[in-house]
Structure 1
Amino acid sequence: MGFSLLLVALIIGHLVSDFFLQPMSWVNDRNTHHFKAKKLYLHVLVHGVVSAIILAFWEYSYGWQQLSTVLLSTAAIMLSHYLIDITKSYSNKGVVPFLLDQIAHIAVIIALCIYITDNQSLIAYASALATNPQVLWVVCGYLIILSPSAVFIRMMLERLTANFSSEGSLPLAGQSIGMLERVLMLSFILLDQFAGLGFLLAAKSVFRFGDLSASKDKKLTEYVMLGTLLSVSVTLFVGLAVNSWIR
Structure 2
Amino acid sequence: MMVKLLILQVIAHVLSDYFFQTDASSKEKNEKGFKSKFLLKHAIITFACAWILSMDVNFVFCALAIAVIHYLIDGLKKDLNTSRFSFFIDQILHLFVIWVFVWIFNRYFESNLLWNIPISIKWLTIILGYLLCIKPANIFIRETLVVGNIESISDTTAELKNAGKLIGILERILVLTFVIIGKLEVVGFLIAAKSILRYKDTNTIKTEYVLIGTMLSFGIAMLVGLVIGKFY
TM-score (norm 2): 0.46
Larger radius of gyration: 1
Structure number with higher relative contact order (C-alpha < 8 Å, ≥ 6 residues apart): 2
Q: By percentage of residues, which structure has more helix?
A: 1
